[in-house]
Structure 1
Amino acid sequence: MRTARLCKLLITNDRYTYDDMYAKLDLFLMLNRITEEEYVELTGLLVGTEASKGSIVDDVG
Structure 2
Amino acid sequence: MNEQSATLLAVVFGVITVLLVRSRDCKWWEAALIALFGMYAGQTPLLFAADGLVHWVISIATHT
Structure 2 length-normalised TM: 0.33
- Bigger RCO of structures 1 and 2 (CA < 8 A, at least 6 apart): 1
Give the structure with the higher percent helix. 2
Structure 1 length-normalised TM: 0.34
